[in-house]
Amino acid sequence: MTEMEFWTAGEIASGIRGGAVSSREVTARLLERIAADSTVNAVVETRAEFALEAAAAADEAVAAGREVGPLHGVPMTVKDSFNVTGLHTTWGNPAFAEYVADWDATVVERLAAAGAIIVGKSNVPMMLADFGQTFNEVYGRTNNPHDPSRTAGGSSGGGAAALAAGMTYLEYGSDLVGSIRLPASYCGVYGLRPTAGVAPMHGFQPPGPLAIPTEFPDLSSLGPLARSAADLRIALQVTGGPTVPYSPELPYSWKLLPPRHQRLSDYRVGVVLDHEQAPVTREVGAALSDAVDALSKNGVEIVEGWPAEVDPIGQAQALGFQLGLFFAVNGENPDFASLAEVLEQERRRIAARVAWQRYFADVDVFLCPTSFTTAFPHDERPFMERTIDGTPYDAQAFWISHASLTGLPALSMPVATSGLPVGVQVIGPWHADDTVITFAELADDVIGPVAG
């Protein structure tokens, strides 16, 4: 049986509710494992006393027969960039190294309300500005648990590595340019970028004045990383939904839409496994080809090729413009583009979303690589000087660009491989997050790696 450190969050929560394990035992063992680590450097700060007291209270609630939440007593981590009371929020920036938050991000509040115990923070690159690596001058470098000479990905690399190394049961991160999906792929875990705007951004900010709520489109999306697709669902259910920035009441409620299908063989699945803009390596190509073959043999209808109205290169380039606009809105280069250019690019962004939605009228999910490569050796040279076996470093952004541009839900799930982890990306229709999660959950039995 799998060691307790590698159980899913759902299994731990069930064990605590049923009395098979105690939250105190689980939390203490997790903290000991984090403290003993000298190789991965994934969890960079903990609050042990708080966590153990919260675990004891969780056990008392179970013993008293009180109603408990779906993550009751489960110890977990969040990305350094979320405010958590009593912990540093550094964004990997030495200028913020001494900042300690005195309030919780909305996502953190909602996880705690569901019973989770936030034991600490996971590492990030400087200002989250690297989708391929996790390194900063405050906490140093995070290594891949499968091979410490290789990257864990970025910018949620600390959280993905912590899951792979048995140092957390659940993680919450962020994804602008694949910052959830790429680390999940490189570390062999699950990572979900939800539909844009589903998880509230309040409290996900660098130290400074409180960020003012805005309706301006935000490419960044907050979402969970986990050891199973089912854990992604639990985490999104308890954290999703709007906040109330202007009034004390909402005129509506939020919930996950039901999945399109409950049986794997009912899914109609689009597939593209390679492209000249980011050609996959032999290992990635073989693993994904085997996965698609296995799905087909289990009754899944495979539809090969890009959607008819989708220009994959054009959409990847459009994301590049949107990233420049994102950084301009956040204080860099206010003369980045003219109003006419911005309006035209916004038209392209929405047209891309419409094109994908038309495609998803007849196809349930779309499969493609999460990255063209497996985890690669560390490379701390300046960004523009880096390559990956001769391929440009920013080619990592190609496969993840289409969901990032359109705000569609997308997750990375590990597939069976004899070498380093390989992730397949599952993209779904707007607000069909549970369709994406359910497909991954069902497909895991067919294409997922064998549990240890």
Q: What positions carry a catalytic annotation?
A: 79, 155, 179
Backbone angles phi, psi at 218, to 5 degrees: -115, 115
Side-chain half-sphere CA neighbours of 118 within 13 A: 25
CB neighbour list of residue 179: distance below 8 Å, 6 or more residues apart: 128, 131, 154, 155, 156, 173
What Cα–Cα distance (Å) separates residue 182 from each residue in 70, 81, 272, 419, 452?
27, 18, 18, 17, 22
CB 370 within 8 A of CB 395: no
Length of the chain: 452
CA distance 145 to 124: 16
The C-alpha torsion from 62 through 65 and 69 to 75, rounded to 10°, is 0
Angle of helix 48-63 relative to helix 23-36, nearest 10 degrees, comes to: 160
Helix (H) or strand (E) holding 437: helix 433-447
CB neighbour list of residue 303: distance below 8 Å, 6 or more residues apart: 268, 269, 270, 271, 363
- Using CB atoms within 10 A of its CB, is residue 305 exposed (0-12), middle (13-18) or buried (19+)? exposed
Helix (H) or strand (E) holding 427: strand 422-427
CA distance 22 to 63: 10
Closest to 291 (Cα-Cα) out of 264, 311, 313: 264
CA distance 402 to 410: 10
